[in-house]
Chains A and B, each alone.
Chain A
Amino acid sequence: MAKSQTELRPLGKSVGRKEDPRFIRGMGRYIDDIVLPGMLYMSLVRSPYAHARIKHVDPSAALEAPGVKLVITGEDLAAMDLAWMPTMAGDKQMVLATGKVLYQYQEVAAVIAESREQAEDAAQLVDVEYEPLPAVVDPIQSLDPDAPVLREDREKKSNHIFHWEAGDKEATEELFRNAPVVVKQNVRFPRVHPSPLEPCGCVADYQSSTGKLTWYVTSQAPHAHRTVLSMVSGLPEHQIRVISPDVGGGFGNKVPVYPGYVCAIVASLKLGRPVKWIESRTENISSTGFARDYHMTAEIAAEEDGRVLALRVKTIADHGAFDAAADPSKFPAGLFSIVTGSYDFKESFVEVDGAYTNKAPGGIAYRCSFRVTEAAYLIERVMDVLARRVGVDPAELRKRDFIRKEQFPYQSPTGWTYDSGDYEKTLDLALEKIGYEELRKEQAEKRARGELMGIGISTFTEVVGAGPSHTFDIMGIKMFDSAQIRLHPTGKVLARLGVRHQGQGHETTFAQIIAEELGLSTEDVLIEEGDTDTAPYGLGTYASRSTPTAGGAAALCGRRIRDKAKKIASHLLEAGEDDVVWDGVSFSAKGLPDKSVTMKDIAFAAYTNVPEGMEPGLEATYYYDPPNLTFPHGAYIAVVDIDKGTGAVKVRRFLAVDDCGNVINPMIVDGQVHGGLTEGFAIAFMQDIPFDEDGNCLAPNWMDYLVPTALDTPHWETDRTVTPSPHHPIGAKGVGESPNVGSPAAFVNAVVDALAPLGVEHIDMPIFPWKVWEVLREHGVNK
């Protein structure tokens, strides 16, 4: 049962979510709810081909259609030097195609009309003549020296985007040469899509009278978007106001800037009227930021008893037509080098090569701190391969190889400094809670009867909270974050942060942090995010960074307020400042506990009765540059049963024991874990965006890109251990992505465990029933 919002000392309590009443009653205000006077609507013309030369684009019939005000083509944008825009990954991307198209559903023209229906009707009248070219859909073929070069705009005449590596190659090779055991496994992480319930969209409103552009957009990073927009368009940054209203899910999909946004802004600038653009579901899935699409090979060198020595990883990353990843600048493969995971590898060498293909651009982080899901899946999968090879139970193997709690802060062979962890404690709790030994007994009995039951473990380590300014920036902007707290005379608080929530519960959790620091209740604190004209600058909400960055800023900003409050308290209590003590809800003079003043008293005094010489008012801003990332971890266990007739997998149980440091709101953490597990389940069992050989996207809508419902989803069991982050102001670590990062391996390990008696070592996601059936029939199981 959720706790009341009026409780004092709310940190760590399951306070009811402040945002729920409006969301549950359908009273949220999302991008499509915004209607401005004189607003026009935009629809995009998209390419039916994955690779084709554009012979000509003729907008004349569309321009004559009812209600049409403007048609924008790639050539129009080229004349404004806007046909291309930079991506956050340092590549560039076509806004509207000129010369040729590079993926199916690529943006070719924009039609602006009085109504949405008119815009859609007229979009069909834009006449585009294409000359189809052979499509390259496989990234491995794309890297072949003889493959046609897709990106004619680049100086480098190949489809190779980047090579990136981490770790010590020589030292790793040396350990491999002498290792008693070496295992190797190819693992594909399919192309998936965050697919938020609300697709992307915006309303661009340029006022020629003031020269100011107000841009309403479904953005996870409104401040970053303002800066990017200013850099691309040349509009002065103070004349751009970005407002991100309620966001109906983001999961990384709403971090990049998309071509439709630029077109809507150009249209508003040209027409002097507001222009709305709302994507369809198909447009969202087929053209906006996808995730993963990693083709990985991992090798582990180990001792006979399974103690690991070295890890070697080679990866081909399929980025589609443009590298539109939203990674920090120095990390073209994100934080993938966290791939040594929870294990004490002596050395590791990791390589990633990026490739262009005729597919939609991206490589964004889907509920994942920049490629950490790929890394965690790979290592957890391959640790099971090793366990099987050396004949050690996978739980036992993990315990042998864990980084021990006394090794923290732990220096990983690829350069990370893990802040804290107690992996054995977390796994032990999970094993006990799920009844691991009994399950193994049951499994042995079932195997004797020919039944297929599997148990899968994943003991992952996450890396979140990008990040410290010495290492992390996006387009040069350091990845700190901020909070600003203002106390009104009656003791009520308005707090604004540089992040932008999309379901994480910031209106509650950040209010809890600030209320805790100020001795108030959650109800006393109003959180506002998403308006760049009012909130302090920050890089946004993704990569589980809000609590590690803005959450730290909120706590430290609260403490900054409290420092001034103490001075006012000293004045009100007529006591020396050194004699004033804070007990969590009020100040009192030492030895005189009966006489106390609360933050409410102090707030009033700040506007009515400040000490001589003190600046009135009570507000503060804090920019928090975290000294390190945080490293949440967890132990997940899945139990599955396989139907030998149909190949269907039933997830009988799933237990997630998470350790995300100190918890702000247990109920919200549970909710985050449930949501992330559901997405991890979907990735493991049903999600993939396949393409045919011509580059046609075969799952561009929810009929074929599958999102599970409550009927599909297993019952989630959760528990927690707490290993606080030593450097975070409240010892928290971030949790939103752990369940998505950690769970796919648990599901797949369970399925492979069930099939292990047949000699199966690996099965690629998504595990559709037919895949299991094929394995069963190949091995002569025919029931």
Chain B
Amino acid sequence: MFPNSFEYMAPTTLAEAVELMQRHEYDAKVLSGGQSLLPMMKLRMAAPPILIDINSIDELRGWKEESGFLRIGALTRHSELENAVELRDRYPLLAETAVWIADPLVRNRGTIGGSLAHADPASDWGAAMLALHARVEGIGSGGERQIPMDDFFVDTFTTALEETEIATAVLVPKPAGRTAGRYLKIERKAGDFAIAGLAIHVVLASDGTVAEAGFGICACGPVPLRGKRAEEYLLGKKLTPETIDDVSRMVPEDADPEDDLRGSAAYKRDVLRVFAERGLSDIAKELQGEGVVG
């Protein structure tokens, strides 16, 4: 349970970090919260010769609302988003999701940037950021760029970030109306990776129709997936029992699960259907009041 030996570097500025990444290229791996990387190194499934610890780079911390979006620094810990009361009205899905990630110890160390860059198919943040139509901001030799979530996950443990790029922030669009979010997840035990999970994001227009819809599917494919059919169908409609029923049957169609120790593909698809139905019914009650759906 000891990693192979490695060299450790801890830059204090982003510029320094970028320079180190360029110098060491393939040999370097960014250490953020370390909650996935370090266990993999201890199991010797990963053996990077150089670790670049970005935890001393202050500019990667914290969040602020900028024009049109919330900018969340890559080093933001899961527990910070779990407890960010000021974000709950406009960005409810953040806390809803964060509380489901692993256990309190992991949440105190793990970071949103690290979680996304790790690109685990069972990433709770991956599903939530898809639902929120977020973008990842990265920096490398070619300067800064923004990558939409749909382009970000390339394959299991593989993202669109270049070898020498560092994820610096996540940009979450500001909702254009009343918003609600739910994260539904089933685990074999508390703190386990999801058997299946579903992030749901809904914004209602002033006439009560759906102005924005987001569905992020967790642990049901090689990467976190978007419930595209459900999103398109729901736009412009009201949250009635009928539309919810229709949507809940569409969500599993965009999933691509496999049979494994956590359950069969058929089971996971069906759980997504149940989650979509429960999550949307709950959201309808929250945004429309008890009577509308009833």
- Asked whether any CB of chain B lies closer than 8 Å to the CB of A645, the reply is yes
- Asked whether any CB of chain A lies closer than 8 Å to the CB of B270, the reply is yes
- Asked whether any CB of chain A lies closer than 8 Å to the CB of B186, the reply is yes
In Å, the complex CA distance between A706 and B187 comes to 11
B2 with A709: CB separation less than 8 A: no
A768 with B190: CB separation less than 8 A: no
- Asked whether any CB of chain B lies closer than 8 Å to the CB of A474, the reply is no
Other-chain residue from A280, A773, A774 in contact with B1 (beta carbon distance below 8 A): A280
Question: Hey, which chain A residues are within 8 Å of B186, CB to CB?
Answer: 646, 648, 769
Could you mark each residue 703-723 of chain A with 1 if its beta carbon is under 8 Å from any beta carbon of chain B, else 0? 110111101100000000000
- Asked whether any CB of chain A lies closer than 8 Å to the CB of B191, the reply is yes
Could you mark each residue 600-618 of chain A with 1 if its beta carbon is under 8 Å from any beta carbon of chain B, else 0? 0000000000000000000
Could you mark each residue 226-267 of chain B with 1 if its beta carbon is under 8 Å from any beta carbon of chain A, else 0? 000000000000000000000000000000000001111001
A699 with B267: CB separation less than 8 A: no
Given A690-B261, A770-B263, residue A706 in contact with residue B192 (CB < 8 A): yes
Could you mark each residue 763-778 of chain A with 1 if its beta carbon is under 8 Å from any beta carbon of chain B, else 0? 0000011100110010
B271 with A709: CB separation less than 8 A: no
A712 with B190: CB separation less than 8 A: yes
Minimum CB–CB distance from A264 to chain B (whole Å) comes to: 17
Question: Hey, which chain B residues are within 8 Å of A703, CB to CB?
Answer: 192-193
- Asked whether any CB of chain A lies closer than 8 Å to the CB of B188, the reply is yes
- Asked whether any CB of chain B lies closer than 8 Å to the CB of A116, the reply is yes
Minimum CB–CB distance from B217 to chain A (whole Å) comes to: 15
Minimum CB–CB distance from B40 to chain A (whole Å) comes to: 11
The secondary structure that dominates the A interface is loop
Minimum CB–CB distance from B270 to chain A (whole Å) comes to: 7
Could you mark each residue 271-289 of chain A with 1 if its beta carbon is under 8 Å from any beta carbon of chain B, else 0? 0000000001110000000
B263 with A768: CB separation less than 8 A: yes
Number of B positions contacting A (CB below 8 A): 25
- Asked whether any CB of chain A lies closer than 8 Å to the CB of B195, the reply is yes
Given A121-B4, A121-B5, residue A773 in contact with residue B270 (CB < 8 A): yes
Q: Which of A116, A280, A706, A707 has the most CB of B within 10 A?
A: A706
Minimum CB–CB distance from A783 to chain B (whole Å) comes to: 8
In Å, the complex CA distance between A280 and B188 comes to 23
- Asked whether any CB of chain A lies closer than 8 Å to the CB of B59, the reply is no
Given A704-B261, A709-B103, A770-B263, residue A120 in contact with residue B274 (CB < 8 A): no
B190 with A770: CB separation less than 8 A: no
Minimum CB–CB distance from A645 to chain B (whole Å) comes to: 4
Given A690-B261, A709-B191, residue A646 in contact with residue B274 (CB < 8 A): yes
Question: Hey, which chain A residues are within 8 Å of B44, CB to CB?
Answer: 124
Residue of B nearest to A648 (CB): B186
In Å, the complex CA distance between A645 and B2 comes to 42
Q: Which of B44, B191, B271 has the most CB of A within 10 A?
A: B271
In Å, the complex CA distance between A282 and B2 comes to 13
In Å, the complex CA distance between A777 and B267 comes to 10
Minimum CB–CB distance from A303 to chain B (whole Å) comes to: 42
Which residues in chain B, 189-210, are within 8 Å of chain A measured between CB atoms? Answer: 189-193, 195
A711 with B195: CB separation less than 8 A: no
- Asked whether any CB of chain B lies closer than 8 Å to the CB of A686, the reply is yes
In Å, the complex CA distance between A686 and B5 comes to 36
Question: Hey, which chain B residues are within 8 Å of A645, CB to CB?
Answer: 271, 274, 277-278
Given A709-B103, A768-B188, residue A117 in contact with residue B195 (CB < 8 A): no
Residue of B nearest to A121 (CB): B4
Other-chain residue from A706, A769, A777 in contact with B195 (beta carbon distance below 8 A): A769
- Asked whether any CB of chain B lies closer than 8 Å to the CB of A34, the reply is no
Residue of A nearest to B193 (CB): A703
- Asked whether any CB of chain B lies closer than 8 Å to the CB of A61, the reply is no
Could you mark each residue 92-103 of chain B with 1 if its beta carbon is under 8 Å from any beta carbon of chain A, else 0? 000000000001
Minimum CB–CB distance from B110 to chain A (whole Å) comes to: 16
B2 with A770: CB separation less than 8 A: no
B274 with A117: CB separation less than 8 A: no
B267 with A773: CB separation less than 8 A: yes
A699 with B261: CB separation less than 8 A: yes
In Å, the complex CA distance between A110 and B14 comes to 45
In Å, the complex CA distance between A648 and B277 comes to 17
Question: Hey, which chain B residues are within 8 Å of A280, CB to CB?
Answer: 1
Question: Hey, which chain A residues are within 8 Å of B190, CB to CB?
Answer: 708-709, 711-712
- Asked whether any CB of chain B lies closer than 8 Å to the CB of A232, the reply is no
Residue of B nearest to A708 (CB): B189
Which residues in chain A, 674-698, are within 8 Å of chain B measured between CB atoms? Answer: 686, 690, 698
Question: Hey, which chain A residues are within 8 Å of B189, CB to CB?
Answer: 686, 706-709, 712
Could you mark each residue 103-145 of chain A with 1 if its beta carbon is under 8 Å from any beta carbon of chain B, else 0? 0000000000000110011001000000000000000000000
In Å, the complex CA distance between A121 and B263 comes to 36
In Å, the complex CA distance between A431 and B263 comes to 36
Residue of B nearest to A281 (CB): B1
B263 with A769: CB separation less than 8 A: yes
Given A706-B188, A769-B186, residue A117 in contact with residue B271 (CB < 8 A): no
Question: Hey, which chain A residues are within 8 Å of B5, CB to CB?
Answer: 117, 121
Given A281-B1, A770-B263, residue A646 in contact with residue B271 (CB < 8 A): yes
Question: Hey, which chain B residues are within 8 Å of A777, CB to CB?
Answer: 270
In Å, the complex CA distance between A701 and B43 comes to 10
Which residues in chain A, 624-650, are within 8 Å of chain B measured between CB atoms? Answer: 645-648
Given A773-B270, A777-B270, residue A117 in contact with residue B2 (CB < 8 A): yes
4 A-B pairs besides A120-B1, A124-B44, A646-B186 with CB distance below 8 A are: A282-B43, A645-B274, A708-B190, A769-B188
Ranked 10 nearest A-B pairs via Cβ:
A770-B263, A645-B274, A711-B190, A280-B1, A770-B267, A706-B189, A117-B2, A712-B190, A712-B189, A120-B2
The chain A residues found within 8 Å of chain B, CB to CB, are 116-117, 120-121, 124, 280-282, 645-648, 686, 690, 698-699, 701, 703-704, 706-709, 711-712, 768-770, 773-774, 777, 783
* 10 pairs, CB–CB < 8 Å, chain A vs chain B: A121-B4, A648-B186, A690-B261, A706-B192, A768-B188, A768-B263, A769-B186, A770-B267, A777-B270, A783-B274
